[in-house]
């Protein structure tokens, strides 16, 4: 029954554990989902462990402690064993239509009623792939990009018989593991992304074939120019900006005519033995003797750093990473709740990339920001939130003392726990402790004095009685605790 199909998944069957299958396994496992892999390659366990190792390193850099406990990896002895208790199946077999059609039918016969299958095919049509299945509505293409564990894009494309429910389920599953779903509305060979990549690749092959440029020069033509822009703006947004203030219309008028000139070629050059030799030799020269693993690490490090940079702008792939980071942190305790010892939990967050300094630690201003945000939580709790401020009154911080006692690194979960030490009609005396949950240690404290003000008059004024009562209740709640270490401190040189 279609209604039984589930988006909440606990276990995924991976059929085909090569470059892409192992990449999927890594993405699922590092997002807390169990996988069972079937691949007849006798080396599959070693190869998968290497890919998951790379992925663990990359995703720990990317998301840090926000990552959930890893799922488990098991290796199945047959397709049926890999899929029989799976909630979702990802097929990553070699790109051969006959093989995929035959084995997709086998998966369909063995999988549970609620499961659906995503196929990693780079360009085969799902309508053809679902031809042998008893439940063809359960197949959809989920086309990823290498390395699957970092790059967020997945193209979702249904065939003639794919149900909307299956597409929705696949999209929900991929989103759950931090991906950006691009729905391919019309089935087409090569989908969207590979058609674009192939066009560039075809031209690149011609340029080598005709002796115009080497592999290394072609890569330079991309990576020092257009490639940098493509990674966050694509091609249309870039050209819109290239059109100046008149935008895309001007750009099309200016450069449109060249589209009719026969610059580029629609069909690639014939891959003769000679051309294959030339490209392979040039590629070896370009690689400069560095091995595959070294390049994989470099690629992953650059991709993670790029994602962090984009995350600071909440843009393109960075926006996807930021949303996933928030999704991963979803189980955190409720901010604003009063803890059993009377303190208020005012901040609970992993350390974000934009808060990191050149020492790779939480940077100085970020402490003040987090403590300031913690103060806002207390103010909202006593009735001095944004609405109250809009009404013309507020609490202003008149003095702050921060002590730095330790460090926190990217992704490390930190909490700020706040005590309202004292309150009266016009004053609030707050004491924040920032705790690293990883180190189980206080890494900073902040003491603030706040004064209640009439913002228009820019003068102190008594807070409303209800607000004073709410503040005094928080004072009473923590009163049984000993005075915090470090209150009333000043900075002075010893002696
Ligand atoms: N490599 C890429 O960059 C890339 C990117 C996106 C999508 N894809 C697609 O992903 C799929 C897999 O590509 P790949 O690059 O991982 O290829 P690959 O050759 O690295 O892996 C294919 C794996 O399938 C296994 N296999 C062969 N017969 C099998 C069987 N009967 N049962 C189970 N496993 C079997 C092989 O042992 C191998 O490990 C293809 O459809 C491809 O188009 C590849």
Give the whole-angstrom CA distance, residue 349 versus residue 343.
17
Atom of ligand 1 nearest to the CA of 144: 6
| Ligand 1 site-directed mutation target among 22, 37, 92, 99, most atoms within 8 Å of CB | 92
Q: Region 217-235: what's the mean pLDDT?
A: 97
* Cα 15 to ligand 1 centroid, rounded to whole Å: 9
Contact criterion met (CB below 8 Å) for 116 and 87:
no
Residue 240 host element (H or E): helix 236-242
Whether the per-residue pLDDT at 6 is higher than 70: the answer is no
Whether the per-residue pLDDT at 34 is higher than 70: the answer is yes
- Report pLDDT for 3: 39
* Any ligand 1 atom below 6 A from CB of 91: no
C-alpha distances in Å from residue 91, one per residue of 18, 22, 95, 285: 11, 11, 11, 35
Nearest CA to 374 out of 416, 327, 313 is that of 416
* Any ligand 1 atom below 6 A from CB of 178: no
Domain 194-289: state its class.
Answer: mainly alpha
* Any ligand 1 atom below 6 A from CB of 77: no
Q: What pTM was estimated for this model as a whole?
A: 0.77
Residues facing 451 on adjacent strands: 396, 427
* Any ligand 1 atom below 6 A from CB of 40: yes
Q: Region 293-320: what's the mean pLDDT?
A: 93
Backbone angles phi, psi at 270, to 5 degrees: -70, 130
C-alpha distances in Å from residue 151, one per residue of 12, 37, 93, 145: 19, 21, 20, 6
DSSP reduced 3-state for 75: strand
CATH number belonging to domain 332-478:
3.10.129.10
* Cα 399 to ligand 1 centroid, rounded to whole Å: 62
Give the whole-angstrom CA distance, residue 386 versus residue 377.
11
* Cα 144 to ligand 1 centroid, rounded to whole Å: 12
- Report pLDDT for 358: 85
**Helix 292-312 × helix 44-63 angle, to 10°:** 30
| Per-residue model confidence as pLDDT tens digits over 38-67 | 999 999 999 999 999 999 989 988 887 678
Give the residue carrying structure tokens 């439940």: 135
The vertex-69 CA angle with 67 and 70, nearest 5°, equals: 95
Domains 2-191 and 194-289 share a fold: no
Contact criterion met (CB below 8 Å) for 73 and 35:
yes
Give the whole-angstrom CA distance, residue 380 versus residue 474.
13
Q: How much is the mean pLDDT over the chain?
A: 93
- Report pLDDT for 7: 55
Give the whole-angstrom CA distance, residue 94 versus residue 129.
13
Whether the per-residue pLDDT at 294 is higher than 70: the answer is yes
Token pair, residue 321, equals 């990473």
- Report pLDDT for 185: 95
* Any ligand 1 atom below 6 A from CB of 147: no
| Per-residue model confidence as pLDDT tens digits over 70-80 | 999 999 999 99
DSSP secondary structure string for all residues of 143-208: E--SSTTT--EEEEEE-TT--HHHHHHHHHHHHHTT-EEEE--S--TTTTHHHHHHHHHHHHHHHH
* Cα 128 to ligand 1 centroid, rounded to whole Å: 18
- Report pLDDT for 352: 81
Give the whole-angstrom CA distance, residue 25 versus residue 35.
6
- Report pLDDT for 330: 53
* Any ligand 1 atom below 6 A from CB of 352: no
- Report pLDDT for 332: 52
Domain boundaries, the chain: 2-191, 194-289, 332-478
Nearest CA to 316 out of 235, 231, 241 is that of 231
* Cα 21 to ligand 1 centroid, rounded to whole Å: 7
Contact criterion met (CB below 8 Å) for 408 and 351:
yes
Q: How do strand 427-436 and strand 413-423 relate by DSSP bridges?
A: antiparallel
Atom of ligand 1 nearest to the CA of 100: 41
- Report pLDDT for 357: 87
460: preceding bond cis by omega (within 30 degrees): no
Residue nearest to atom 41 of ligand 1 (CA): 121
End-to-end CA distance of the chain: 80
Nearest CA to 363 out of 413, 303, 410 is that of 410
Residue nearest to atom 7 of ligand 1 (CA): 122
Domain 2-191: state its class.
Answer: alpha beta
Backbone angles phi, psi at 441, to 5 degrees: -145, 150
Q: Region 183-209: what's the mean pLDDT?
A: 96
- 265: confidence class by pLDDT, cuts 50, 70, 90: confident
Token pair, residue 405, equals 């006692």
Token pair, residue 358, equals 């050149």
Question: What percent of the chain lies above the pLDDT cut of 70?
Answer: 98
- Report pLDDT for 433: 97
* Any ligand 1 atom below 6 A from CB of 122: yes
Give the whole-angstrom CA distance, residue 50 versus residue 57.
11
Q: Region 361-369: what's the mean pLDDT?
A: 95
């Amino acid at each position: 029954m279609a209604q039984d199909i589930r988006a909440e998944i606990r276990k995924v069957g991976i059929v085909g554990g090569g470059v892409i299958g192992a990449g999927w396994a890594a993405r699922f496992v590092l997002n807390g989902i169990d996988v069972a892999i079937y691949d007849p390659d006798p080396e599959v366990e070693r190869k998968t462990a290497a890919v998951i190792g790379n992925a663990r390193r990359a995703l720990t850099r990317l998301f840090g402690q926000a990552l959930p406990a890893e799922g488990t990896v098991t290796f199945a002895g047959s397709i049926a064993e890999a899929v029989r208790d799976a909630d979702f199946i990802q097929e990553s077999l070699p790109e051969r239509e006959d093989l995929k059609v035959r084995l997709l039918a086998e998966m369909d016969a063995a999988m549970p009623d609620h499961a659906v299958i995503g196929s990693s095919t780079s360009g085969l049509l799902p309508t053809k792939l679902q031809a042998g299945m008893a439940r063809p509505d359960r197949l959809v293409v989920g086309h990823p990009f290498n390395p699957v564990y970092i790059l967020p894009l997945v193209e979702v494309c249904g065939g003639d018989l794919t149900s909307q429910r299956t597409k929705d389920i696949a999209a929900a599953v991929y989103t759950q593991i931090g991906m950006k779903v691009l729905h391919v509305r019309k089935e087409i060979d090569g989908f969207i992304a590979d058609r674009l990549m192939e066009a560039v690749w075809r031209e690149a092959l011609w340029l080598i074939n005709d002796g115009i440029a080497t592999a290394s020069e072609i890569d330079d033509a991309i990576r020092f120019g257009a490639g940098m822009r493509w990674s966050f703006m694509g091609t249309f947004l870039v050209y819109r900006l290239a059109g100046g203030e008149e935008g895309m219309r001007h750009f099309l008028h200016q450069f449109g005519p060249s589209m009719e000139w026969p610059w580029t070629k629609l069909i690639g050059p014939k891959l003769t033995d000679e051309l294959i030799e030339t490209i392979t030799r040039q590629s070896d020269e370009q690689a400069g003797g560095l091995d595959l693993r070294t390049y994989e690490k470099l690629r992953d490090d650059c991709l993670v750093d790029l994602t962090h940079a984009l995350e600071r702008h909440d843009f393109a792939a960075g926006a996807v990473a930021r949303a996933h980071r928030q999704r991963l942190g979803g189980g955190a305790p409720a901010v604003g709740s009063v803890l059993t010892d009377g303190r208020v939990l005012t901040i609970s967050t992993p350390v974000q990339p934009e808060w990191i300094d050149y020492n790779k630690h939480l940077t100085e201003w970020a402490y003040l920001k987090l403590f300031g945000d913690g103060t806002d939580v207390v103010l909202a709790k006593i009735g001095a939130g944004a609405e109250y401020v809009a009404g013309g009154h507020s609490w202003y911080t008149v003095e702050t003392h921060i002590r730095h006692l330790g460090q926190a690194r990217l992704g490390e979960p930190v909490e700020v726990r706040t005590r309202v030490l004292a309150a009266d009609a016009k004053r609030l005396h707050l004491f924040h402790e920032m705790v690293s949950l990883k180190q189980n240690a206080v890494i900073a404290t902040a003491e603030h004095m706040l004064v209640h003000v009439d913002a228009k008059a820019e003068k102190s004024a008594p807070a409303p009685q209800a607000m004073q009562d709410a503040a005094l209740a928080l004072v009473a709640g923590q009163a049984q605790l000993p005075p915090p270490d470090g209150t009333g401190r000043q900075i002075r040189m010893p002696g």
